[in-house]
Amino acid sequence: MDKDYDLITIGAGSGGVAASRRAAAHGAKVLVIEGDRVGGTCVIRGCVPKKLMMYAAGFSQAFEEARGYGWRDAGGRFEMSDWAAAKAAEIDRLEGIYRNLLSGSGVERRAGWARLKGPGEVEVNGEVLRAPRILLATGGRPAADAFPGLELAMTSNEVLDLTTVPESLLVIGGGFIAVEFASILAGLGARVTLAFRDVLPLRGFDADLRRRLADALAARGVAIASGAGFASLRKVASGFEVERLDGSVLAAAAVLNATGRRPNTAGLGLDRAGVATDRFGAVVVDHDSRSTVPGIWAIGDLTNRRNLTPVAIAEGRAFADTEFGASPARVDHRVVAAAVFTDPPIGTVGLTESQAVELGPVDVYESEFRPMKTAFVGGQQRSYMKLIADGLSGRVLGVHMLGPDAPEIVQSLSVALTCGASKRDFDRTIAVHPTAAEEFVLMREPSRRLPAREPGRAA
């Protein structure tokens, strides 16, 4: 079979762009197909515009703090339409950069919605293109089928295009997206209610972080409605009403659906090509991102491994290095740092306390305090830091923080965990003073020592 390309990538998000550019750098002839804007969820409708909105929300507290530091007439009125226009211009600029990165790397790009046609074949705009390697990098999309009427709500896509701040907002969900936008919109002046089924937000995170985040959101002015599922969402004259399974009703002028995301497989032709998916609809892959069909790979949120932009980028580059370069590579998904951009934010890497005690005895070190910046003006916000070490070897297994600059601090400490640092390595590191980060190297005595959990014993 004559080949048109060495690689066809479907999806021009962060992972697809990274893989395509790396493959081209190794000398491959590469085509990227994208039916939407170049840059994907992270750049166009996710991480980047969300953080720009977070920065906007942060000024409300900054103005309050400024007055405590002697500034007079600090403050102003937030105009979301101005922010929206500036955000749109910035996203246009970033998309242009991504387009230039592709063309500058020698990667060809076509606009259109691609689907798998057969072995080594992709159809787009009625044309069949061929390559011995096909990479699927179409990411994820918001799910809207958790209960009847949920399709009426905004998703993370639409909330980033708001031009006015809703008077009241009901956020449905307890994960990353839910808590971030609840915190952000509260900072912009909306009356926010965060509703979720579990007792605490951020399922899967360390329990101490979850409890403190719930307290921090409440201090931010977010009303927490936890512990009950949802029956239906309906539109009413005043906005929306959500009926919960306990019979209670929550009302707001606007509703944000943040119940989760699904792998974006619609129209890809996975069934026709024989590509296996799991019960969540994610493409099943091995450690090298190979699907169940020879010649087809998948990376990023489409595979539902670690749904984070840097992971998708790493997976894409590892694929390209393995298939086209001289140095095969694999991504280690076990130690991956993550951030939650609430106010205050969260940074976390490694095992939670409950995960660690499943493996053996652990020592837990903690520090909690009011940050100097806000304490000076009478603020009650608190920072919390937690370090989990193996009770036998002393190796640091997890680092968790809620507080200002937590993502930046934990990003640096994730290098230490990746290198296998021990508690003794932290102890012999000289602190930088005065900083919040120094607390991680000043924790001398464990707050508690825990034996290994017996198999089958509840946390």
Residue 263 phi, psi (nearest 5): -60, 135
Question: Could you say which DSSP state residue 268 is in?
Answer: S
> Phi and psi of 340, rounded to 5°?
-125, 120
Q: Binding residue per annotation — 175? A: yes
301 annotated to a ligand binding site: yes
Interior/surface letters 306-325, b for 16+ CB within 10 angstroms, e for the rest: bbbbbbbbbbbbbbbbbbbb
Q: Annotated binding residue at 224?
A: no
Q: How far apart are CA 17 and CA 312, in angstroms?
A: 10
Q: Is 98 exposed, middle or buried (0-12, 13-18, 19+ CB in 10 A)?
A: buried
Q: Which strands make up the sheet holding 254-257, listed edge to edge? A: 223-225, 191-195, 168-172, 254-257
For residue 184, say whether it is annotated as part of any ligand binding site: no
**Does residue 16 have a known ligand-binding role?**
no
Q: Quick check: bond before 148 cis, omega within 30?
A: no
Active site residues: 433
Tell me which residue of 97, 120, 138 sits closest to 12, measured CA to CA: 138
Contact 169, 162 (CB under 8 A): no
177 is in an annotated binding site: yes
Contact 243, 230 (CB under 8 A): yes
Signed CA dihedral, 436, 442, 445, 448: sign only: positive
**Rounded to whole angstroms, how far apart are CA atoms 325 and 25?**
9
Q: Which helix (H) or strand (E) holds 368?
A: strand 362-369
Check the annotation: does 121 bind a ligand: no
The set of residues, in sequence order, having a beta carbon less than 8 Å from that of 447 and lying 6+ positions away, is 364, 365, 366
Helix (H, G, I), strand (E, B) or coil at 380: coil
The closest alpha carbon to 192, from 202, 181, 201, 206, belongs to: 181
Is 281 annotated in a binding site? The answer is no
Does 260 carry a binding-site annotation?
Answer: yes
Cross-strand partners of 297: 135, 290
Query: Which residues are documented as binding site for FAD?
Result: 51, 301
Query: Which residues are documented as binding site for NAD(+)?
Result: 173-180, 260
